[in-house]
Structure 1
Amino acid sequence: MTEFSQLGLSPTTLQAVADTGYTTATPIQEQAIPVALAGRDVLGIAQTGTGKTAAFTLPLVDRLSTGRARARMPRAIVLAPTRELADQVAESFAKYAKGTKLSWVLLIGGVSMGDQVAALNKGVDVLIATPGRLLDLFERGKMLLTGVEIMVVDEADRMLDMGFIPDIERIFKLTPPRRQTLFFSATMPPEITRLTTAFLKDPTRIEASRPAMTADTITQYIVRIPTSDPKAKRTALRALVERADVKNGIVFCNRKSEVDIVAKSLQKHGFDAAAIHGDLDQSHRMKTLADFRAGNLKILVASDVAARGLDIPDVSHVFNYDVSHHADDYVHRIGRTGRAGKLGQAFMIVTPADDKSLDKVLKLIKKDPEELVLDGIDFAAIKDGPRRDDKRSGERGRSRSRTSSTPTPSAEPVDIAPVTAAPSSEEAAAPRSRSRRKARPEAPVEVAAPVAAAVQADAAVEPVETAHAARPDRADREPHLLQSDRRGDRKADKSDTQRQGVRGFGDDIPAFLRRPVVIRA
């Protein structure tokens, strides 16, 4: 491996690197830093945990060391998909730029916008931001992007998963075309390839390792359970945590709601655990993450917000409570352990419903993890009770069924006006009203007198068919509306029991039909 002193960095930056304890560069740093220092575009592809953050932070500090920041006009932008990753980049920038006069500001949601605006007004060299907050401040007129010299996109594939690609494209178009772009991603799906083709100019492609490859320092296990019951999965998770020598571990779930449930379950059974996901307050997320890094928290239950790019040292175990929907996410999840050459263990709980997702993961990593059997647990006897929301939905469903149900057979029958004459063929074809009110004898429907007079006055006008005249044909169009009248134990011939329903508007002719109609040829 190459030492940092051979990469062309300035003495000030080399001293900052030495203060962090690093002496040799990783493969992605060794190849990307000289190209970035030369001012060329970089397309970096490397698995998580290979030092991509330093690969763009160090040349960024060196290239911006000369120059002056102007109010509301940043000189460089670093885009990150999550608040936690943006905060981590800001920490790295603070370490490597401490010997310079460079200024920076962290633009993320969930915190006060006033402090961020005040920093922009003073003038900053580097914006470290999530796409949403950056565009929000731009639309409010708090900054201009015409002075951007360097553009950095970190974890681009995660941006794609989170739906940020349209925002990234817009930000690119707001910056000057003559800029340097450093683009880093762990994988290269087709959409990311299209983005790099559109906005990077003759980039140097640096691929430090095969995309989506898991580190050899991680021992992977599969734990199969015979049921998908949530209580059984939580039981299996607790058994794994108890049997493994967990110094500190991360439990990954697919859904945010499941993160809270699993964290509360671990806390209830005496484990030191806390939840972190995108719906929590930003200050709470930052404090939880800080406690975990400092060793004050043993188990972090997280959604995929913590799967990408977060540099948490000495994570001994990773537990996949759910098999990830996307195979790439599995690689990033277990990449939280076994970093910087240290050993780690990763466990994945698999239920019968996870077969398709598991096949995708195994096909991607091209490895067969060791299967681990949990003895002493009777999964068949474990049954989770209905959740609170399930109970509420059930009660709502029962309430609706009670209010909309038909009367029971014991209910008082509805009287129907007797029919003294057999219905004509036209009347028999008319649909019977399904109203439960007492039927009224139907009055003949007539066209309003003003309408008839207007029609007769204009000899050139063809006869006008009103809505009432069209109604008798409805039964011909919808024969399924014919019903036989059978109530209680009364049974009669169909010809005797069919009743003539109300046709047209009955006695209630709307006022607009009584107005004169004048049709001009």
Structure 2
Amino acid sequence: MSFADLGLSDELLRAVTDAGYTEPTPIQRQAIPSVLMGKDLIGIAQTGTGKTAAFVLPMIDILGEGRTRALMPRSLILEPTRELAAQVAENFVKYGTNHKLSMALLIGGVQMGDQVKALQSGVDVLIATPGRLMDLFQRGKILLTGCNLLVIDEADRMLDMGFIPDIEEICTKLPKQRQTLLFSATMPPVIKKLADKFLTDPKRVEVARPATANVNIKQWVVPVAASDKRGMLRDLLRAEDVTTAIIFCNRKTTVRDLNKSLQKSGFRSTEIHGDMEQSQRIAELERFKKGDVNILVASDVAARGLDIKGVSHVYNFDAPWHPDDYVHRIGRTGRAGATGIAYTLVTPDDAENIAEIEKLTGMKIERVKPASGETAREEAPEKRGAAPRRGRGRKTEAEPRPKAEPVAAEAAPEPEARAPREAEPRREAPPRRERGGRGRSDDRPEPRRQSRGSQDEPDEGWNGPVPDFLKYTLGA
């Protein structure tokens, strides 16, 4: 089946072909015809399956007819984070090149005046994060009574971030007679309840079992002592044919420290996390995409939605606290039919987390323990300020230890090697969510803020220049 078989317009087909795509993905094949027919839809799909184009493409054709009115967007797309909202905007720019559609982006951290100005001109597509949208709505800067098409993207992520009450309130402001599309990687009870309440006889499209890890990704668990994780990671990076890799950590401090350690060891790495300004994050992602660096160390702010082609490896330096995060992390590789490799470094404290991941995915992850520890031994005395070891010198370095010897045991003669843990603090149980969701790493936002201002989203704000693709007018 080709895109031409889905009922898309000739102008849109040209844009798709120019973008380099010839065949639709399974989610696109199943979803696009139903959306074009005006039906409500529930799409259950992992990231990397092409689900964004599954709603962007038909929306462009649907909105091709009609006119805009001031302050009244014709369609609304809700995204949990600024990064995802920006990526959807990129898709509209790419595929809407032959259509004269206008678009506005409402996200925290961008000058509100510019966003209001775009709305006053009238827009066909409004892409927003829930907090900023509710803020403008309460200020009387936007009307939703003319919005006939609603997309709720990454609904399970919305749940994690505490946005479901906002979404429910937004839905009550929209016309009852509308088309609603809901996309989610998983379908927990709260999301099912939301769909039952606000969707009318929806078509259900499921391209993979909820929370199932991609079969194109070869997964490994690497048991390791906490004090030897950096050395093990370096050994894995050197042993594999790593084209591009993303390394995930649970804490922002770990991201920073690990990136410095990798750079010191000669790796071409960079980092993104929630403490960075938005402009800096974008700049580092561009360096990674262009190949200036081939290793990206990231916190979970980047775990979902980032569509970076050609990522060969994913490394979980920290085992994720929540099983769903594992699925979304490793989903950065093995995209669009390609194969990928994912390693998870597991300490004894992570046993329960790994068991939950295997329970969720329904598969036993293979264990592997490659010969390791050489790098860890070399770094330990310098980094920890330990006294030089007896016999440390060329002769000692030239005599590798037997592979069968546990890595953890090699540090035993050095008592203080295990004591300091400033760089890698002992993992504490994540805080409970008030709304029955899951806990979060320190890179995630509070579920609900007492007041909705411009800083209502998961990171600290968009403090840099706005990229060209965020301009709100499409086409000429």
Q: Secondary structure at the match of 1:340?
A: coil
Residues 232 and 372 in structure 2, CA contact (< 8 A), matched pair in contact too: no
State the AA in 2 paired with 1:291: R
- The 1:384/1:293 distance shift into structure 2, 3 A limit, reads farther
Which range is displaced more, 240-249 or 57-66? 240-249
What is the rounded CA distance, in whole Å, between the counterparts of 2:157 and 2:280 in structure 1? 23
Render the CA deviation track for 1:227-274: whole Å, top value 9, x for unaligned. Answer: 333xx2222222222222211111111222322222222223222222
Letter of the 1:228 counterpart = A
Q: Which has the higher contact order (CA 8 A, sep 6+)?
A: 2
Cα deviation digits, residues 144-171 of structure 1 (max 9, x gap) = 1111110001111111111111111111
Q: CA deviation at 1:114?
A: 2.6
Measure the CA separation in 2 of the matches of 1:137 and 1:268.
46
Distance 1:228 1:64, change over 3 A: same
Q: Aligned equivalents of 2:237 and 2:365: distance in 1?
A: 18
Task: State the distance in 2 between where 1:64 and 1:376 align.
Answer: 57
Residues 43-52 or 274-283, more deviating: 274-283
Displacement after TM superposition at 1:80 (Å) = 1.1
* Residues 347, 91 of structure 1: alpha-carbon distance in 2 compared, 3 angstrom cutoff: same
* Counterpart contact for 2:77–2:126, Cα < 8 Å: yes
TM, length-normalised to structure 2: 0.78
Measured at CA, do residues 124 and 384 of structure 1 come closer, stay the same or move farther in structure 2, by a change above 3 Å?
Answer: farther
In the alignment, which residue of structure 2 is the partner of 1:475?
A: none
Matched, 1:265 2:261: yes
CA distance in 2, matches of 1:68, 1:218: 45
CA contact under 8 A between 1:47 and 1:210: conserved in structure 2?
A: no
Give runs of aligned pairs for residues 230-245 of structure 1, distance below 5 A: 232-245=228-241
1:195 partnered with 2:194: yes
> After the TM superposition, which residues 35-114 of structure 1 pair with which residues of structure 2 at under 5 Å, given as runs?
35-114=34-113
After TM superposition, the structure 1 = structure 2 runs for residues 320-331 of structure 1, keeping only pairs within 5 Å, are 320-331=316-327
Structural mapping, 1:7-406, within 5 Å: 7-225=6-224, 227-229=225-227, 232-377=228-373, 378-380=407-409, 381=411, 382-383=417-418, 385=420, 387=422
| CA deviation string 1:164-202 (max 9, x = no partner) | 111111111121111110101111000100100111111
Give deviations 1:488-516, integer Å, cap 9, x for gaps.
xxxxxxxxxxxxxxxxxxxxxxxxxxxxx
CA deviations 1:418-466 (Å, max 9, x no partner) are xxxxxxxxxxxxxxxxxxxxxxxxxxxxxxxxxxxxxxxxxxxxxxxxx
Q: How many residues align?
A: 386
1:497 aligns with: none
| Deviation, structure 1 residue 132 | 1.6
Q: Structure 2 CA distance, aligned partners of 1:150 and 1:266?
A: 47
Match of 2:336, SS? helix
2: CA distance, partners of 1:311 / 1:202: 31
Structure-2 separation of matches of 1:107 and 1:179:
21
Is the Cα contact below 8 Å between 2:71 and 2:141 reproduced in 1?
Answer: yes
- Return closer, same or farther for 1:140/1:385 CA change in 2, 3 Å cut-off: same
Contact residue 36 and residue 58 of structure 2 kept, 8 A:
yes
Query: Could you tell me which amino acid in structure 1 is paired with residue 325 of structure 2?
Result: D
CA contact (8 A) 1:13 1:58 kept: yes
Amino acid at match of 2:148: E
CA distance in 2, matches of 1:118, 1:365: 46
Q: Is the CA contact 1:111–1:282 (under 8 Å) kept in the aligned structure 2?
A: no
C-alpha separation in 1, matches of 2:337 and 2:61: 28
- Which entry has the higher C-alpha Rg, 1 or 2? 1
**Shift in Å, 1:215:** 1.9
| Range moving further from structure 2, 256-265 or 342-351 | 256-265
Separation in 1, partners of 2:136, 2:256: 32
* Moved >4 Å (runs of 4+): none
The 1:384/1:245 distance shift into structure 2, 3 A limit, reads farther
CA distance in 1, matches of 2:144, 2:198: 16
Do the aligned partners of 1:105 and 1:116 also contact (CA within 8 Å) in 2? Answer: yes
SS in 2 for 1:339: coil
- Checking the alignment, whether the CA contact within 8 Å between 2:315 and 2:343 is kept in structure 1 is yes
SS of alignment partner, residue 223 of structure 1: strand
3-state SS in 2 of match to 1:373: coil
Rounded to whole Å, the distance in 2 between the matches of 1:113 and 1:302 is 29
| Percent of aligned pairs sharing the same letter | 57
TM-score by length of 1: 0.71
State the distance in 2 between where 1:376 and 1:103 align: 55
**Cα distance 1:260–1:240, how it changes in 2: closer, same or farther (>3 A)?**
same
Q: Deviations over 1:28-82 (max 9, x none)?
A: 1111111111111001111221110011001110110001112211111111111
Give structure 2 stretches of 5+ with no counterpart: 374-406, 412-416, 426-476
More deviation, 52-61/365-374: 365-374
The answer on whether the counterparts of 1:110 and 1:281 sit within 8 Å (CA) in structure 2 is no
CA-CA distance at 1:379 after TM superposition: 3.0
* Distance across 1 between alignment mates of 2:274 and 2:235: 28
Task: Give 2:461's aligned residue.
Answer: none
Which deviates further from its counterpart, 296-305 or 371-380?
371-380
Q: Structure 1: how far apart are the matches of 2:293 and 2:350?
A: 30
Q: Secondary structure at the match of 2:208?
A: coil
- Once the two structures are overlaid, the 10-residue window that deviates more, 114-123 or 171-180, is 114-123
